[in-house]
Amino acid sequence: MTRARRAHLVTFGCQMNEYDSGRLRDLLCAHGWQLTEIREEADFIFFNTCSIRAKAAQRALRRLEELRPLKKNNPSLIIGLGGCLAEQEGRALFDQAPWLDLVAGPQHLPRLPDILDEILTDRSQIALIGPGETPAWSQANLEAQGAKPDTFNSTAGPLLDYVTIMQGCNNYCAYCVVPYLRGPELSRPAGEIVSEIKGRVAAGSRDITLLGQNVNAYGRGRLDGEPDFPGLLRLIADTGLDRLRFITSHPRDFSPELVNLFGDLSSLSESLHLPVQSGSDAVLKAMGRGYTRRVYLDLIEALRVRCPNLTLTTDLIVGFPGETEADFDESLSLIETVGFDAMFSFKYSDRSNTVASSLPDKVLEEEKSRRLIELQTRQKVITLAKNLAHLGTVLEVLVERVSSRYPGQLTGRARNYKLVHFDGPPELIGQLVSVRVIEAFSTSLRGERVEASR
């Protein structure tokens, strides 16, 4: 008997890519492939890449370079590069890396099992980019290829899981390359999402994050009878899961109805990632974000009235073209005013095709670095203060694993998504445990168990 062909998948970038890689894994398994962690023993190596900033793209290309000697040693190895960088660069990648066999944009991943057979037969280089199957991961498509709903999650029911509810983005924020790479917004039918989530819950998932580039635009231009985003959240709340969250929502599309669901839907977790991008009205306008600083602050206030314990995280860009020192000060003051629990901050990076790439008044690299360090230094203090405020409180922790850093301790997340360590036996993994916080650090909390688990 010949041995099964083995695939080695590496994922870069955001959770959308993680989700895509997960579905690709399911499909390959349905087509008789096995997965391997060891790239030297693989017949197919696939990089699912990101292109959001220049650095992300460079990282993937460096890693691709490392595969060159492997191909030399094993000419029958198939090397593929997929995801957003593939969509952006297309066939040009074959000139850059002639050892590459396959380039596939995000919308083409469902075709890979068949394409791999083609490459095995005639060893041609194949590029699949541009609009593809929409939606890429329809249940019908997966089932037609033999991936059964109960195998969609081939990693056997992780406690915390992700489900894509829409693909693409129509926002065209001035700095962002995603709409060019992921295509227009397309919402998955609600029935399909609910059935996928029920499957995950049955397989052991207790905490599910809904994914999309702009989830609160879910259902825009929807068919009769299909829900909008708050309607979808209500449907999902009945699937028996313990915790529900979503990334990423856009402040402009955050309706009062959505605000009201916080505190109303018991499974909706007290944590929200709401990218602000800048604290300056002039910069927000140039970015095309469609809200002002005041609108953002009012939204946060309304959310905190509904849900006083809400933890808030954000994304922020420094050095957008034309950002003055005064604009940057507005970002500094905004993070103090809001008091985010954590922040992901980035130096503006020029991306081809975007509106911002042709704007004048680019900020110097060293100035961007200085602003980033200043912003991050301030945020560190805020994050620690937020964590210290949890001292003495009791949190419901979903236990995920034995701590890799602290022997004898377990690690899990609270409903507000704070990372918590506490002493306890491994039998508690998968359970909800009440933990009193006794120590706070910059990225986690330490606590002690106070009562029985469920």
Sign of the torsion angle spanned by Cα atoms 413, 415, 416, 421? negative
What character string, x for contact with ligand SAH (CB under 6 A) and - otherwise, covers 227-266?
---------------------x-x----------------
Looking at the DSSP bridge assignments, the partners of residue 277 are 316
Which partner in ligand F3S, ligand SAH, ligand SF4, none is near 258 (CB below 5 to 8 A by kind)? Answer: none
Query: Does residue 172 touch ligand SF4 according to CB under 6 A?
Result: yes
User: According to CB under 6 A, which residues from 142 to 201 bind ligand F3S?
Assistant: 178, 181-182
Closest CA to 446 of 213, 408, 62: 408
**Is residue 171 near ligand SF4 by the rule CB under 6 A?**
yes
Query: How many Å from the N-terminal Cα to the C-terminal Cα in the chain?
Result: 47
In contact, 350 and 357? CB cutoff 8 Å: yes
List, as one string, the DSSP characters of 68-125.
Answer: HHHHHH-TT-EEEEEEHHHHHHTTHHHHH-TT--EEE-GGGGGGHHHHHHHHHHH---
- DSSP structure string for 377-392: HHHHHHHHHHHHTTTT
Cβ atoms < 10 Å from Cβ of 349: 19
Q: Min. distance of Cβ 280 from ligand SAH in angstroms? A: 15
Binding partner of residue 179 among ligand SF4, ligand SAH, ligand F3S, none, CB under 5 to 8 Å per kind?
ligand SF4
What does the DSSP 8-state code read for residue 188?
Answer: P
Position among 17, 21, 36, 213 found at the interface with ligand SF4 (CB under 6 A): 213
Least distance in Å: CB of 171 to ligand SF4?
4
126 binds, among ligand SF4, ligand SAH, ligand F3S, none (CB under 5 to 8 A by kind): none
Nearer to ligand SAH, 52 or 375 (CB): 52
Query: Does the footprint of ligand F3S cover residue 14 (CB under 6 A)?
Result: yes
Q: Confirm or reject binding of residue 49 to ligand SF4 (CB under 6 A).
A: no
| Token pair in block for residue 306 | 């509904």
Question: Would you count residue 36 as binding ligand F3S (CB under 6 A)?
Answer: no
- Out of 7, 8, 9, 17, name the contact with ligand F3S by CB under 6 A: 17
Question: Would you count residue 84 as binding ligand F3S (CB under 6 A)?
Answer: yes
Residue nearest to ligand F3S (CB): 13
Q: Facing residues of 162 across strands?
A: 209
What's the CA gap between 69 and 138, in Å, rounded? 37
Q: Which residues, in sequence order, are CB contacts of 407 under 8 Å at separation 6+? A: none
Cβ neighbourhood burial of 66 (10 Å; 0-12, 13-18, 19+): exposed
Do 53 and 85 touch, CB atoms closer than 8 A? no
Q: How far is the CB of 423 from ligand SF4 (least distance, A)?
A: 41
DSSP-derived 3-state class of residue 60 = helix
Among the candidate windows 9-17, 169-177, 262-270, 394-402, which touches ligand SF4 by CB under 6 A? 169-177
Taking the complex as a whole, the smallest distance from the CB of residue 257 to ligand SAH amounts, in Å, to: 20
* Least spacing, CB of residue 342 vs ligand F3S, in Å: 18
Q: At its nearest, how many Å lie between ligand SF4 and the CB of residue 319? A: 16
Please give the Cα distance from 213 to 246 (Å, whole number).
Answer: 10
- In this structure, the number of other CB atoms found within 10 A of the CB of residue 384 comes to 14
Does 175 engage in binding with ligand SAH (CB under 6 A)?
yes
Using the contact rule CB under 6 A, the part of the chain among 54-62, 72-80, 150-158, 167-175 near ligand SF4 is 167-175
- Candidates 42-50, 155-163, 170-178, 406-414; binding stretch for ligand SAH (CB under 6 A): 170-178
* Cα distances (angstroms) measured from residue 18 to each of 5, 195, 263: 22, 20, 29
Q: Is 176 in the site for ligand SAH (CB under 6 A)?
A: yes
Q: Which is nearer to ligand F3S, 9 or 241 (CB)?
A: 9
Report the interface residues with ligand F3S, using CB under 6 A: 13-14, 16-17, 50-52, 83-84, 178, 181-182
Per CB under 6 A, residues contacting ligand SAH are 52-53, 175-176, 178, 213-214, 248, 250, 275, 277, 315, 317, 346, 348-349, 351
